[in-house]
Amino acid sequence: MTAMLNIKDLRAYYGQVQALHGLEFGLNEGSLTTLLGANGAGKTTTLRAICNMVRSTGSIEFDGASLTGRSTENIVRLGIAHVPQGRGTFTTLTVEENLQLGAITRKDRAAVTSDIERMYDHFPVLKERHTQQAGTLSGGEQQMLAVARALMLRPRLMLLDEPSFGLAPLIVRDLFKILGKINREDKVTILVVEQNAQLALELADKAYVIETGRIVMSGSAAEIANNEDVRKSYLGY
Amino acid sequence: MELFINQVLAGVATGAIYACMALAVVMIYQAIDHLNFAQGEMAMFSTFIAWQLMQWGVPYWWAFLLTLAFSFAGGIAIERALFKPLAKAPVLTNVAGFIALFAIVNSVAGLTWDFTIKPFPTPFGNSPFLGSQLISTHQAGMIGVTVGLLILLYLFFQFTRIGLAMRAAAALPESARLVGINTSWMIALGWGMASAIGAIAGILIAPVVFLEPNMMGGVLIYGFAAAVLGGLSSPLGAVIGGFLVGIFENLAGTYIGHVGNELKLPIALALIIIVLVLKPAGLFGRPIVKRV
């Protein structure tokens, strides 16, 4: 089975500093994969490199086509939605405008309207607040909005950068439940970067562990969860 | 009392022009975080284009529309050629770019059309508006065209996809790219629109201040004052600021003894400084709600 996303020998740089040292991994279509690692291991950089938001070398293929040299906006147009760290909410615009922006590259306007209604079904709180400035939402609501905005693209691949960051545990559970549902029902391939390893491993079917810019371990989520080293380093028992 | 109303209405008329210039300044400021010092010169050049077209026999409104198209394309061309390469350069480099643009446009206009003052036609005439002595038909026309323009711009930014994309790109470029917006072209589009708005201001004010390469100097300073007063982050504020500055300027000129008229420009500059000291965000620069 060929992977939907295939990454080979990925190296990324911030100025002179090298953050990724020859990263290799793949994502199968329809999978829900998590990328685990400590602070500064290169998780965020990996996601940013996929969307060409950081200088990088190596090969990244999506559906067999190379992403090298494509601008961020052109990569997004291929159906790769990226929920960045800090959520990237357009705080001065309304909730509904944020959702419309998620679908700004789509031409099927009737379907966009019905998709907005679908998002309101997924996230009822967004419907209640659809005319409010998005900056007035709580952290959890903004994360829901960020996920909903990404889904408005009707993406084939969704990249999430620490969706649990700064959220109350109950809200994180809700959010992860929704992610699992999106993955199963809408057939969206998901790559989620997390520090909350326990929850991420419950959710995912495949996992990679990254350390100082290299993949050091890979396997099914269950295997990784049972690995002695992972348990000590990331799960804390 | 009639003098007062008369001066307020005249202030609204010139204020409409300041509002246009302030809006053009704010649009570019929102897109690239720099004040375009050459905004007035670009507007002046556009006005000369309109004048030249009319000299060649093109009817007024056709010249008007052709000039808008020319200015729109010209604004985009300037951004692509000069300011896109400077996008990541330090502030002072950009300031130098704006000053260079100012000097080049001013000199080219002077070289092409010389520095003598030329009359500029108005399509509205200069008779009393609706038989009233309070305001002339040209002044009424200035107000009417500006209000129409503002309504169109509001509808554009509020209800079209490109308008929404432009607002998103100005607010948060990185997130805008992540939803697939080509932010670089949104900036260019902003330049084109600002340039065309400036052209409208130039064409409308030219019958009042007469056409010459330095005609927009004072107007742009009032435009800056209006933008600062209303808040550089608020297009609506810039427009309201424009009208307020126009009214204020006229009343000061009328009622502050014999110095009022001479000191009109320093009054605008004083206004900029006072606002920056007392309320740096301007009257309408909404405090943005932010959660971290």
Contact: A135, B288; criterion CB under 8 Å: yes
Set of chain B residues whose Cβ sits within 8 Å of the Cβ of A93:
164, 167-168, 171
Q: Give the H/E segment covering residue B135.
A: none
ipTM: 0.90
Exposure string over B264-289, b if 16+ CB within 10 A, otherwise e: beebbeebbeebeeeeebbebbeeee
Work out the pLDDT band at A86, boundaries 50, 70, 90: confident
**Nearest CB to B177 within list A73, A97, A133:** A73
Contact: A92, B288; criterion CB under 8 Å: yes
- For residue B4, the distance in angstroms to the closest alpha carbon of chain A comes to 40
pLDDT at A31 over 60: yes
Contact: A73, B288; criterion CB under 8 Å: no
Least reliable range by pLDDT among A183-197, B219-233, B277-291: B277-291
Q: For residue B34, give the 3-state DSSP assignment.
A: coil
- Name the closest residue on chain A to residue B169, using Cα atoms: A90
Mean pLDDT of A134-153: 93
Distance of CA A137 to the CA centre of its chain: 21
Contact: A90, B171; criterion CB under 8 Å: yes
Mean pLDDT of A167-183: 89
Mean pLDDT of A184-208: 91
Set of chain A residues whose Cβ sits within 8 Å of the Cβ of B171:
90-93
Say what the pLDDT of residue B268 is: 79
Contact: B181, A135; criterion CB under 8 Å: no
Contact: A104, B174; criterion CB under 8 Å: no
Set of chain B residues whose Cβ sits within 8 Å of the Cβ of A100:
161, 164
How far apart CA B197 and CA B217 sit, in angstroms, is 16
Set of chain A residues whose Cβ sits within 8 Å of the Cβ of B175:
84, 88-90
DSSP A166-211: T--HHHHHHHHHHHHHHHHHS--EEEEEES-HHHHHHH-SEEEEEE
Contact: B179, A153; criterion CB under 8 Å: yes
Kindly calculate the radius of gyration of chain A based on its CA atoms and give it in whole angstroms.
17
Say what the pLDDT of residue B75 is: 97
Nearest to residue A149, comparing CAs of A92, A102, A95, A84? A102
Mean pLDDT of A183-204: 90
Q: How many CA atoms lie within 13 A of A155 on its CB side?
A: 28
Which residues are CB-neighbours of B59 under 8 A, at least 6 positions away?
Answer: none
Say what the pLDDT of residue A67 is: 93
**Nearest CB to B182 within list A73, A90, A153:** A73
Least reliable range by pLDDT among A149-158, A193-202, B277-286: B277-286
Tokens at B241, concatenated: 């600021």
Residue A113 touches chain B, beta carbons under 8 Å: no
How far apart CA A229 and CA A198 sit, in angstroms, is 14
- For residue A135, the distance in angstroms to the closest alpha carbon of chain B comes to 6
Tokens at A54, concatenated: 């950081």
Work out the pLDDT band at B292, boundaries 50, 70, 90: very low
Contact: A133, B167; criterion CB under 8 Å: no
Chain A, chain B: beta-carbon pairs less than 8 Å apart = 76
pLDDT digits (tens, 9 = 90+) for B170-186: 989 999 999 999 999 99
Give the percent of chain A with pLDDT over 70: 98
Q: Tell the residue number behind the tokens 């959890």, with chain if given.
A: A140
Contact: B177, A72; criterion CB under 8 Å: yes
Exposure string over A122-143, b if 16+ CB within 10 A, otherwise e: ebeebeebbeebbeebeebbbb
Mean pLDDT of A168-187: 90
- For residue A214, the distance in angstroms to the closest alpha carbon of chain B comes to 25
Say what the pLDDT of residue A90 is: 94
Work out the pLDDT band at B260, boundaries 50, 70, 90: low
Least reliable range by pLDDT among A27-36, B17-26, B35-44, B256-265: B256-265
Tokens at A141, concatenated: 């609501």
Set of chain B residues whose Cβ sits within 8 Å of the Cβ of A136:
289
Set of chain B residues whose Cβ sits within 8 Å of the Cβ of A51:
178
Contact: B179, A72; criterion CB under 8 Å: no
Exposure string over A48-77, b if 16+ CB within 10 A, otherwise e: bbbbbbbebebebbbeeeebeebebbebbb
Say what the pLDDT of residue B289 is: 47
Residue B84 touches chain A, beta carbons under 8 Å: no
pLDDT at A227 over 90: no
Sheet of A32-36: strands edge to edge?
Answer: A80-83, A157-161, A189-194, A32-36, A206-211, A214-220
Amino acid occupying residue B241: G
pLDDT digits (tens, 9 = 90+) for B183-211: 999 999 999 999 999 999 999 999 998 99
- Which residues sit opposite A209 in a β-bridge? A36, A217
More confident residue, A223 or B268: A223
- For residue B135, the distance in angstroms to the closest alpha carbon of chain A comes to 39
Contact: B179, A76; criterion CB under 8 Å: yes
How far apart CA A191 and CA A150 sit, in angstroms, is 13
Which residues are CB-neighbours of A218 under 8 A, at least 6 positions away?
Answer: A25, A206, A207, A208, A209, A224
How far apart CA A44 and CA A85 sit, in angstroms, is 8
Contact: B181, A101; criterion CB under 8 Å: yes
Set of chain A residues whose Cβ sits within 8 Å of the Cβ of B170:
none
Work out the pLDDT band at A1, boundaries 50, 70, 90: low
Interface mutation vs chain B, best among A73, A76, A89, A98, most B CBs within 10 Å: A73
- Name the closest residue on chain A to residue B286, using Cα atoms: A92
How far apart CA A17 and CA A14 sit, in angstroms, is 5
Exposure string over B157-194, b if 16+ CB within 10 A, otherwise e: beeebeebbbbbbbbbbebbbbbbbbbbbbbbbbbbbb
Contact: A71, B175; criterion CB under 8 Å: no
Q: For residue B136, give the 3-state DSSP assignment.
A: strand
Say what the pLDDT of residue B275 is: 85
Q: Give the H/E segment covering residue B292.
A: none
With beta carbons less than 8 A apart as the criterion, state whether B47 and B206 touch: yes
Say what the pLDDT of residue B261 is: 64
DSSP A17-55: EEEEEEEEEEE-TT-EEEEE--TTSSHHHHHHHHTT-SE
How far apart CA A218 and CA A222 sit, in angstroms, is 11
Say what the pLDDT of residue B286 is: 60
Say what the pLDDT of residue A147 is: 93
**Nearest CB to A135 within list B168, B180, B289:** B289
How far apart CA B229 and CA B273 sit, in angstroms, is 10
Say what the pLDDT of residue A89 is: 93
pLDDT digits (tens, 9 = 90+) for B114-142: 999 999 999 898 888 777 777 889 999 99
Least reliable range by pLDDT among A159-173, B42-56, B143-157: A159-173
pLDDT at B290 over 60: no
- The whole-chain average pLDDT of chain A stands at 91
Contact: A90, B164; criterion CB under 8 Å: no
- The whole-chain average pLDDT of chain B stands at 90
**Nearest CB to B290 within list A71, A91, A149:** A91
Mean pLDDT of A57-64: 92
